[in-house]
Structure 1
């Protein structure tokens, strides 16, 4: 039924998009009208040759999103959770690479995790009520943002970024098994100072019995304007999230118990007594959703004369997250940025310097058997410490000549990786790695009309190894013991190409992009020496290509949006990989030629809004995710361990909002109207495959008050 709806809507909207006109109404618009101006001078430099996706606060409220992940997965070209817990995949990075090939920022500050094993996390670090907008740069931004941008950049702007509105707000939302409440107060002691603060509380039941998540978020900010055009802002926030959920479950368990499934009890070892016996606690085998994040941020923006502007940022973050009892990843980030921009005549210049230090540490105990006392156990502390220091400088220049816009940029970066790992059975190692990288961009745009332009861009990007990849487990030939040593693998280098077209076609404002990127030294982890060693090597070459298309129309009381993405890619061995296989033939993988693992080839998002009057809006959104491969090795396709195809699914959401008075509004909606069952993640095949179940149908209602 959902496929029929999809085809019908596509046919209807395509007809409207190309040639539909209501009566004598001719749609109007310009390229600028479809773009929301960013708050960041760095992101502004990409505007002529990049289609930046913007999710506004209004979009968030009207569509009833409950998290950053929910908002992102309803965009074309973005998938959340298909490649693992909390992973965000843009432009088909696929299994094992989505986490490394993305940059996530909150108010311009990087929060991308250093390591995603053994503990995963997501990027729902700010309650959705406290977000002003989310900006997504698909596949680009290496000059401005450094490593890991071949997939894209996501910048989450909170309501504390600029503190420019003197508003007191209250919001409440209810849904079966959950609620959300938020409130903020703003005051202005004098003409130069603004102060705001607030609190958000939320809780919701998840799909299975006794699964839930909830939390508290506190925030405050002070903005001081010493003179016209300049501002100094201090911001602080605290997030405390808890919950329990079922991360992966065998398909046969779903078929047997459905939503009533509860994990069986298991023994959790919490210590060893003085006699060498394990101290055991019985717990149900839930994963936990615990996270604490403290953020402190300072921004100073000021004009320097007639043509120059300056932006200085300083920040520190600390916190922890956990999936399992007694295992908690502690992390902290500190750093600063300086950006100088000059806008004079036909030239725009942007110069930047950045320095950040990220650290992460995981500590827990192992309980090996005492070799001298059979049946007795010892406590063996394990710890894994990671530290990444980044120092970079970049320069971008934009020249506008008549209808032509030429952009050039270069970035130089030095990275210091440090690790100190103490694993089980004496496996340990401590070392550092110093790495240099260069990113570059060259792009050209031609605006042939007020509502039409074309562009072409090239970007040289790179991705550095993560905390797992930076070290190898090797066998010491003298002692025959395994130890950690720094990997000799090189950073991945990507060449990215993109062509774009923006135009008004009939009733539609259209954006279209074709992209292609390649790397000839992709990283992979391989087992060698009969499985006694695990190393990171540059053995692969990967190609990714795709199409992104969106259409928008406004006709009378109706608004429509149609978005479509196509992504395809392939991986094979490079020359170093073929040489490696001659020595290690058992390590060969027959890489599938039909696409990358866990990358849907097609995704469609359709939206419609009907406004019967100036106060009411009725929205509908249909999201279709195409079939994707759940296997890596072509020759093992279909077996229980490797997996097969994960079939397509479509989900329809509806919502409504009504502005009762200028100061308050009510809203409500139904998600997954047809209660479609689908999987957000799947590993393996058959009844013993493991899955993460998608959200079922639910309804919600809420109210927002602004004074």
Structure 2
């Protein structure tokens, strides 16, 4: 498959030599207008891939997740609690290494356990463009941008009236309706709005989901020097879904549902931006924001519970009791409250001759509080298997009880950073960027576990308090050379960092220090599902990135290529149970001594007559330079959950001015994971195993017909070849991806 894919990519790329028409060259830098964009990032020296509103509306995208699955260099990871965005080999730690911005404000969660990245809480109809900025950004954005930045711009400050509407129906009774628009009440006041509703069954049996998203805001120009903007966004996403099922069961029925898992996620977002331009060259801006997320999770688990305990009072003799197929339920509530402020001053000037330069100084502050309350309770344990007699026995009535586990957690993370960024025009062909940042982070909170109840075990409440402070530094230096009107080459170095999430500072491990209810000379009991929280002394990651790249328009084709090397010291990695149900899942966070990522990013597009071709290829080779023996991560190993290759191939053909068709192929290579597995001796800690997740490719095709200049009808199919692959999997369980499915869509635009 890999050889065929590379051959196909070579053939399509070679077509550029015969290209006849010209196309618009994609931007090398992220550009913003002083009059229309409060939050435009400065002109960094790196390749940026821009997904325009027109490209988004060419296909059947129900949400931002669908858009990014097709995007070059972006890997969308599927979790039970929502998507995660991976760039440049960020792997399982993508939430803390890739930053997602909406109108300049980060929407990344500030904790990781059962966390949700609310990219699907943004109506597709309201999106103006998406900028994908691979690699780095620590100077401007601080922690969380080592892998890259995804910047989503909405129609919140468009200067003309607009209206978009989508009506969609697809396989599995997928019904989706959305609209967004904006209206200029006068020359100073612009109001924007949006709404999206989705109701659908899922690929697996007895599953369905319902999404509601509301958006409202305005942009007001006080005078030529002052303007402000206020935006609100609300969403309610309900998933009546189920857990992964054993791999063997999946082979017999891919659509079989697992044990129940219901998730209700509510997001609220408020953003206020103010801009003041005292002179033509100086712009002062302030952003205040508040984000809230509430998640209610109800899920089930069926497990075999093993208890080793004394078989009678005052005895050193132990007995293994196995309770088969014990059903448990978990009810959990998660709350995140995030508030922040961004202050920035930007000054434009000419340093040397008429060559434009700019200097930005800024201050960021954010405080976030995460709360969790959860209860896991099993049915009452009554009958057990006694290996000594080879049969079942009844538990003594005084020992009968359910297994109950309670968790209460509150963690506050405060961060403040000050930075300076300079883009200097040295000549009309050479630019230099130089920047630095200092960021301080403070953690305060606690995590309580218990009082936990189970047979033979004395109930006990355990608490861990967290009070830590970190100081990190970032900096960058880059050069860009414009060797002709369309071509440019750049090189840059960045020193970055990644601070841990608050929840990453503790591990959930097997509790091997249980106490017996009875007194005397008694062997302490052991229970395979008993867990506790322990501190792990996790450190911040430190990264060094070297990058060189170019972008040009050659022989009728736009081409961009980047080569990068990133060394990470003390990289944070997660080792979790192969059983993904959160009711019984355990995990450990560890610092890998040192890792290295070397990669190539290639993207090209050609217009040839009625055809448009596009190709992208991302290769990432990861390697552990210094090992962590406990995590079974050895020198020379690959970094967990990082696919080595992602490739996209696309073609669009215009049959007439109103009828067009497209084909799109996406391939993702295999990846490795690390899992905790129950030790055969349950009196000891879990062991770590390796698992390989296979690669897969999907092909999509569609037709688009425009009855007039304002509407568009689309029909198409996804995963045409019905490839069987999994959205997520462990060595024990998996969640299957849908096979071939169809859609019909109506778009209206004014």
* Fold conserved between structures, TM > 0.5: yes
1:496 alignment counterpart = 545
Aligned to 1:271: none
Secondary structure in 2 aligned to 1:309? Answer: strand
Judge conservation of contact 1:524–1:540 (CA < 8 Å) in 2.
Answer: no
Structure 2 residue aligned with 1:111:
107
Going from structure 1 to structure 2, the CA distance change for 1:212 and 1:592 (only over 3 Å counts) comes to farther
- What pairs up with 1:107-506 in 2 under 5 angstroms? 107-118=103-114, 123-160=119-156, 162-176=157-171, 177-184=173-180, 186-228=182-224, 230-259=226-255, 261-263=256-258, 285-325=259-299, 326-345=331-350, 346-366=356-376, 374-376=399-401, 381-400=406-425, 401-424=427-450, 425-471=460-506, 488-506=537-555
Q: What does residue 273 of structure 1 align with? A: none
1:623 aligns with 2:666: yes
Distance 2:468 2:232 in 1: 33
- Structure-2 change in CA distance of 1:588 and 1:223 (3 Å): closer
SS at match of 1:415: strand
Residue 721 (structure 2) aligns with: 674
Query: Mean alpha-carbon deviation: is it higher for 697-706 or for 312-321?
Result: 697-706
Q: Distance in 1 between matches of 2:199 and 2:540?
A: 42
- Contact 1:354–1:393 (Cα < 8 Å) also in 2: yes
Query: In the TM superposition, what whole-angstrom CA distance separates every residue of 1:528-556 from its partner, at most 9, and x where no partner exists?
Result: xxxxx998654521111100111111122
Tell me the CA shift for residue 476 of structure 1.
Answer: 14
Q: Give the distance between the partners of 2:11 and 2:560, measured in 1 at CA.
A: 19
Tell me how far apart the structure 1 counterparts of residues 725 and 196 of structure 2 sit (CA, whole Å).
31
Q: How many residue pairs were aligned?
A: 651
TM-score (norm 2): 0.79
Cα 1:678/1:37, change in 2 over 3 Å: farther
Q: Report deviation, 1:486.
A: 6.2
C-alpha separation between the residues in 1 aligned to 2:278 and 2:94?
40
Residues 372/131 of structure 1: CA separation in 2 closer, same or farther (3 Å cut): farther
**8 Å CA contact retained: 1:83, 1:98:** no
RMSD across aligned C-alpha pairs, in angstroms? 3.4
Change (3 A) 1:691 1:299: same
Quote the residue 2:743 is aligned against: 700
Q: Is the 8 A contact 2:420 2:436 kept in 1?
A: yes
The Cα shift of 1:340 comes to: 1.4
Q: Residue 705 of structure 2 is aligned with which of 650, 655, 658?
A: 658
Once residues 249 and 562 of structure 1 are traced to their aligned partners in structure 2, the CA distance between those partners, rounded to angstroms, is: 36
Distance in 2, matches of 1:341 and 1:411, equals 16
| Equivalent residue, structure 1, for 2:679 | none
* Paired residues of 2:123 and 2:194 also in contact (CA < 8 A): no
TM-score normalised by structure 1 residue count: 0.84
Cα gap change, 1:447 to 1:128, in 2 (>3 Å):
same
Q: Distance in 2 between matches of 1:338 and 1:412?
A: 15
Does the aligned pair in 1 maintain the 2:26–2:49 contact within 8 Å? no
Deviations 1:387-407 (A, max 9, x none): 111111111001112210100
On the 8 A contact 1:213/1:289 being kept in 2, the answer is no
Q: Could you give the per-residue CA deviations for residues 630-665 of structure 1, whole angstroms, max 9, x where no partner exists? A: 4589xxxxxx98455433322111223333323322
Q: Which residue pairs with 2:561 in the alignment?
A: 512
Q: CA deviation at 1:186?
A: 4.1
Match of 2:601 in 1: 548
Could you tell me which residue of structure 2 aligns to residue 595 of structure 1? 638
Give the unaligned 5+ runs of structure 1.
264-284, 528-532, 582-586, 634-639
- Conserved in 1, the CA contact under 8 Å of 2:90 and 2:147? yes
Distance 1:248 1:122 in 2: 22
**What's the CA shift for 1:435?**
1.4
Residues 143-152 or 608-617, more deviating: 608-617
Tell me, yes or no, if structure 1 residue 571 matches structure 2 residue 624: yes
Separation in structure 2 between the aligned mates of residue 566 and residue 440 of structure 1, nearest angstrom: 26
CA distance in 2, matches of 1:524, 1:68: 27
